[in-house]
Structure 1
């Protein structure tokens, strides 16, 4: 069988135990081996060589993990059970009564997962949180300060506190339904049970000082978060499907004339001579000279991002070269390359390099790698590597990420792009998940859940029913991992709603001003595993402020306690200091739940509350933003393109509140991987008792900020 045997699997097998070839069919307690502080591995029966982490092929960030604090094993090991039978592995973990579970993939409607049944299956999101999603990451996070990764490239069934065993130590109370007093169709359950359709699996358990610390260790174990190029954090505009070079040039001029930020132009299927499936060859009628076109765009500091799906048109340069490495079924009449085979990868990489990277294409939007069973290959499909169709479905997005990342790395050029599928281990790859689902409120829930499971998600803007909705959507996308307007079908521009154009431009420029803060936040993601966008469940001082018995929670007598016990899915953190509370179309205002500690209005510096619910009134034309006490937000002058972010750019360091604070300011060349060789600058910005200081932590000779001026926002 031809397939890539990745480095990561070898590392895990060496640092873990050697799997016992005897399959244990009776329930047993898995053995755990600590590999890093607060990280334990266990091999249940026989680990499949092809798994989520082997495909991602990124070793753990050992140095950082080894600096983490020692932790005790967080749950009772003798209550973790496993056995394998009929080709399936069954797992059971204990749940305490007040324990809440987060994670388990990119969900769009729910943040808390206890009481849910999920089949973690790569698919287009269909509007229901049932496990079929663009990132079915089999990692769950507990409010008790631990997390568990099920490392299997399989469709995994998870029963999160829904089943009651006859041997339970905590039998639920009996109620007589006839008496109509307390009966429930879902009695209390004290376990989380998992079914993996394989004869063995690797488990990785993480413990930390907090839920955020657990997520950090999980991300570091998977290689650490991505650090995008600076241009990737600027503003993106995706153009209509059949635009040509002249149309795109007019689009770029429109952004100049309207004084709106623009760093990236996304080109949709029309750049291919044929699409759905794709030729990966330029259409000569729309792009007669791709080299000159790309050169012209780069001279205007515009990066080009090309749409694709990975299926090969039956005619063209690639088809004959790669067809012997394709699966048994087609997608839209296109063959499906098996990229676990080195020869197939090499063919595609050489084509990309010659026709795209060498002329200056900066990245890709990789579509249709996720699902709809009637579109993608069925589970009966076969592939020349011998891998199951199921394994390919769960990892095809990750395979595409690794394939493209490798060629950009060879060029020493960072990329940033979009993809419809990710899974465990893809945290360090330069791709943000998107889809065609368009519920604005659910976008925020997805943004929160992305932070719980090691992926990035963007709430793009396409069209709106009113100027107000347009403005609200623009505000949200400007406070996300990738700020993008997707006009592939609608042809909309940022100024398509004149009544709110000034507000839209204001928030776009605000994002540009905040890039030093955002870029430093992504550096923290890369070096320390801290998710740059995350839910309130990961924020210190949120749930810990509640000390009231469940039976005494009441929306009238203790509304704050009641609020934080429920799902909070309409506000989130960007970095360590900034709380984002989006408004939605038609809102007459909104409530914001502030964690324990003093919080301040971002725009004015005024105190707004401490561990309480506050009201934001309608008429707030800016997106509501709040900064925690001691917060430090570095900002630069408003720029229209990241190419204007020069080495000597001056920064305004905004300070909020009265508490002492610190912030690690990061900078590098913003374009290459030289930062991995130590070519970067970090400075510790500190405030203490009203005094400020700057400490050089790591100094590169080539990358330094300009003058720093301090503004104390709270008077």
Structure 2
């Protein structure tokens, strides 16, 4: 009898081992690479992963300051299977959980119940997951985040599937829909997990970021990535990109127009024609249009302008970089140009060093890094980029390179600025995970205003910076509403690459390029100037928000659900967002001059009227085109500066502190030179602002020897 029992037990264990082998179950290795971050790994890991390209060390001391956390599930309940298809990761999912993230998503916000495939694509359509910044990273309102560290094309089933379970009760479901949509709709959300399908992988790493709150999850992720980006302070001013075929003389005339008309602009961007070749790129000044680049750079600098150059990374045969990179590039061309193997540090160094000597040391303050995403995967005739089966000398394949190309491109350029101890604010068309530390604003050729607003909100879930640029508009009202959104984003950008004149002088593209200005052009110009002056007033506040991003990991722009994860009313709000600690933005589009606004718990003040609102309710709000559609939380000390036309190294902001409510919370301003990385060595000040009995107090502590802020007045809104 005993022998039979032992024999049966041995048989059962053998069958279990066979089952595990057949279904790819592997032993998992779990460790903690940083406070509140767990890593699960198994199998043969890929050589190239998003975290493998992250040079910044985790800011562990700052992470240690975050509250302790406990996952809402047992970490051992995360299952990983390796089969002949690839890797399948299954993460528990509760019925009431709401999911967000996957990078810069354009067509969706709350990802619960969706199938997402975050793939880099130059035209992100619908809600399948195609995006300029695809990230295998999502967060839950239950206070945790999951990052699957892969550069492969990966699909996330966000509670959309239910596995066969012989013990579960069988329910006979019979749909009698009146339409095809009703028949095929999967609205029951039966899934009890998030399933992650990684075809081709032989192993995987999964990072788990703990809370306890959703905001803490994002802080841990950003700090683990090296801290949030802190751009040069002038980058928070206004950027204007001139027409693609402008000459040196026309650029100088445009600069003169801005200063003569007192329109704030800090950065002028040059588009493709500054080069001798653009598709692919030569990275050589076009001397017919720009006979004296050094004179241009010096002239712009003397008038307070920074110059930004458009380019992409596909190297023309006409470029001095072609021969040095010929053996360090992919085996397929793009626009007859090389695709540098940025996964190889040597290729990145060649590319970066050329930019250092030719442009950055000469005074170029930044670059617009275009076309680093991929051809539009939704159409069969979009084939301009390199194929997924491309081979690169480093060993990375075309699929993986597409996913990380924007990251490694940023890295090659940004590394040079860091070496020279010079901060910048870049533009880029693609990004991926662990990019929090890069001061690079994403942009898109799409132009739907509602989607642009949603991408501001979604960017905060993923350590990304989004720029809802303004081009031409359907109407003056459309122009003004878009301008409001641009003012209330990380980068205020007007992109006039196909416009002879600023869009506020003529909204119609054809008439603009014929120099036929609108009859009321000067009035529209004045209205735009009003909004841009608001932007310049907000610079000290925004700069402090970015400092909090760097040192504390707090996203400067984030969804309401991040700060109010238990308020069900915030779960699906994708057209409102928080800026810093005290501002709620509710942008409008040209569709209406009023909109519904939900204000979370607390007391809020209309910035324009000082009207007080009780939180936890919805309101219908009207905002004119020359006002900012924002609300200020009670307890906020809002530092507003007298607007300047540009931010010089010696600019000293004259600040009025607006105090909202009877019990103001102490706040700070971050003060440093604004242009170097000396703050990383402790060379900065913290300007503490407090208020008691309607008396303001200013206390400055730190090692920075100069004063960038002067508090000239205090005003109270009760």
Deviates more, 1:603-612 or 1:206-215: 603-612
Native 8 Å contact 1:587 1:618 kept in 2: no
Alpha-carbon distance between aligned partners in 1 of 2:89 and 2:143, rounded to the nearest angstrom: 20
Shift of 1:283: 0.6
For residues 475-494 of structure 1, what are the structure 2 equivalents within 5 Å? 475-493=484-502
Shift of 1:200: 1.2
State the partner residue of 2:193: 191
Distance 1:122 1:495, change over 3 A: closer
Shift of 1:31: 4.2
State the partner residue of 2:524: 500
For residues 563-582 of structure 1, what are the structure 2 equivalents within 5 Å? 563-565=569-571, 567-582=572-587
Native 8 Å contact 2:232 2:674 kept in 1: yes
Choose which of 32, 35, 47 in structure 2 pairs with 1:34: 32
State the partner residue of 1:682: 686
SS in 2 for 1:93: strand
Alpha-carbon distance between aligned partners in 2 of 1:194 and 1:319, rounded to the nearest angstrom: 40
Shift of 1:684: 2.4
Shift of 1:588: 3.9
SS in 2 for 1:176: coil
Native 8 Å contact 2:656 2:713 kept in 1: yes
For residues 610-689 of structure 1, what are the structure 2 equivalents within 5 Å? 610-617=615-622, 619=624, 621-643=626-648, 646-647=651-652, 649-688=653-692
Equivalenced residues, count = 673
Deviations 1:333-371 (A, max 9, x none): 111111222332222122112211121111100000001
Shift of 1:620: 5.9
Deviations 1:406-437 (A, max 9, x none): 11112111011100010001110111100100
Alpha-carbon distance between aligned partners in 1 of 2:33 and 2:717, rounded to the nearest angstrom: 45
Is 2:402 the partner of 1:388? no
Distance 1:418 1:178, change over 3 A: closer
Native 8 Å contact 1:244 1:287 kept in 2: yes
Alpha-carbon distance between aligned partners in 2 of 1:122 and 1:690, rounded to the nearest angstrom: 52
Alpha-carbon distance between aligned partners in 2 of 1:173 and 1:447, rounded to the nearest angstrom: 42
SS in 2 for 1:86: coil
Alpha-carbon distance between aligned partners in 1 of 2:77 and 2:468, rounded to the nearest angstrom: 40
Alpha-carbon distance between aligned partners in 2 of 1:579 and 1:539, rounded to the nearest angstrom: 11
Shift of 1:48: 2.1
Distance 1:691 1:264, change over 3 A: same
Shift of 1:606: 2.6
Choose which of 588, 601, 606 in structure 1 pairs with 2:606: 601
Choose which of 528, 531, 541 in structure 1 pairs with 2:552: 528
State the partner residue of 1:66: 64
Shift of 1:109: 2.3
Shift of 1:25: 5.1
Alpha-carbon distance between aligned partners in 2 of 1:703 and 1:171, rounded to the nearest angstrom: 70
Shift of 1:703: 4.1
For residues 436-447 of structure 1, what are the structure 2 equivalents within 5 Å? 436-447=445-456
State the partner residue of 1:513: 537
Native 8 Å contact 1:175 1:183 kept in 2: no
For residues 247-646 of structure 1, what are the structure 2 equivalents within 5 Å? 247-372=250-375, 374-493=383-502, 495-497=504-506, 498=521, 499-540=523-564, 544-546=566-568, 563-565=569-571, 567-617=572-622, 619=624, 621-643=626-648, 646=651
Shift of 1:564: 3.7
Choose which of 77, 83, 86 in structure 1 pairs with 2:84: 86
Deviates more, 1:215-224 or 1:604-613: 604-613
Length-normalised TM-score, structure 2? 0.90
Deviates more, 1:70-79 or 1:251-260: 70-79
Alpha-carbon distance between aligned partners in 2 of 1:513 and 1:503, rounded to the nearest angstrom: 16
Alpha-carbon distance between aligned partners in 1 of 2:684 and 2:177, rounded to the nearest angstrom: 69
Deviations 1:26-79 (A, max 9, x none): 335744323333211111222223210111222111110122222123322232
Deviations 1:617-637 (A, max 9, x none): 364641311001101111111
Alpha-carbon distance between aligned partners in 2 of 1:138 and 1:433, rounded to the nearest angstrom: 18
Deviates more, 1:419-428 or 1:702-711: 702-711
Alpha-carbon distance between aligned partners in 2 of 1:172 and 1:243, rounded to the nearest angstrom: 69
Shift of 1:315: 2.3
Native 8 Å contact 1:87 1:199 kept in 2: no
Native 8 Å contact 2:26 2:43 kept in 1: no
Native 8 Å contact 1:42 1:202 kept in 2: yes
Alpha-carbon distance between aligned partners in 2 of 1:407 and 1:63, rounded to the nearest angstrom: 27
Native 8 Å contact 1:151 1:203 kept in 2: yes
Alpha-carbon distance between aligned partners in 2 of 1:204 and 1:511, rounded to the nearest angstrom: 38
SS in 2 for 1:508: helix
Alpha-carbon distance between aligned partners in 2 of 1:387 and 1:36, rounded to the nearest angstrom: 28
Deviates more, 1:659-668 or 1:265-274: 659-668
Distance 1:86 1:634, change over 3 A: same
Structure 1: 5+ residue stretches without partners: 1-21, 547-562
Native 8 Å contact 1:37 1:71 kept in 2: no
Shift of 1:698: 3.0
State the partner residue of 1:557: none
Structure 2: 5+ residue stretches without partners: 1-19, 378-382, 507-520
Shift of 1:132: 1.4
State the partner residue of 1:49: 47
Alpha-carbon distance between aligned partners in 1 of 2:701 and 2:161, rounded to the nearest angstrom: 51
Native 8 Å contact 1:533 1:573 kept in 2: yes
State the partner residue of 2:513: none
Choose which of 101, 104, 109 in structure 2 pairs with 1:103: 101
State the partner residue of 2:10: none
Deviates more, 1:452-461 or 1:60-69: 60-69
Length-normalised TM-score, structure 1? 0.90
Whose Rg is larger?
A: 2
Alpha-carbon distance between aligned partners in 2 of 1:338 and 1:400, rounded to the nearest angstrom: 10
Is 2:227 the partner of 1:224? yes
Alpha-carbon distance between aligned partners in 2 of 1:184 and 1:318, rounded to the nearest angstrom: 54
CA RMSD of aligned residues (A): 2.2
Deviates more, 1:573-582 or 1:76-85: 76-85
State the partner residue of 2:210: 207
Distance 1:598 1:191, change over 3 A: same
State the partner residue of 2:8: none
Deviations 1:489-516 (A, max 9, x none): 1234154152433221111001101111
SS in 1 for 2:342: coil
SS in 2 for 1:334: coil
Distance 1:689 1:25, change over 3 A: farther
Alpha-carbon distance between aligned partners in 1 of 2:24 and 2:456, rounded to the nearest angstrom: 41
Distance 1:170 1:669, change over 3 A: farther
Native 8 Å contact 2:122 2:132 kept in 1: yes
Alpha-carbon distance between aligned partners in 1 of 2:449 and 2:231, rounded to the nearest angstrom: 25
